[in-house]
Amino acid sequence: MSAAPRWVRLLHGDGTPLPLRARRCDTFLCRLRGLTFRRSLPPDEGLLFVEPVASRMGTSIHMAFVFFDIGVVWLADDGVVVDAQLAKPFRPYYAPRAAARYYLEATPELLTWVKIGERLTIEPTV
């Protein structure tokens, strides 16, 4: 049995990739750590959090001890973007409008690259 890829890229419906690679966070420890205590994030990197099931509560985030603004995009099981928000440092709670299974955290520019309702495909990188 092979492990899930550590890095992925996300593609628009027409096959063009978002200008970043994302680290896949599907373990408890990776999801727990997230961006906590980091001072910055490279502009071409993000974190793709993968939850076992789609929900609003399971994909809610906090910004405690995150020291910079981030763009957050929530995706349903099928990759459709269900919500997108700018998350500010030290805010207690952000949750998607609808159930999501994945959420992508990156620099705020992420919010200009995707639109609510579009479908993204997750593809492993080499």
Q: Could you give the number of structural domains in the chain?
A: 1
Give pTM, 2 decimals. Answer: 0.91
* Domain region containing 118: 7-124
Q: Provide the pLDDT for residue 37.
A: 73
b/e for 1-27, b at 16 or more Cβ within 10 A? eeeeeeebbbbeeeeeebebbbebbee
Whether 64 maps to a domain, the answer reads yes
- Give the model confidence (pLDDT) of 92-114 as tens digits: 999 999 999 999 999 999 999 99
- Give the model confidence (pLDDT) of 29-52 as tens digits: 777 777 777 888 899 999 999 999
Whether 2 maps to a domain, the answer reads no
pLDDT category of residue 126 using cuts at 50, 70 and 90:
low
CATH for 89: 2.60.120.1140
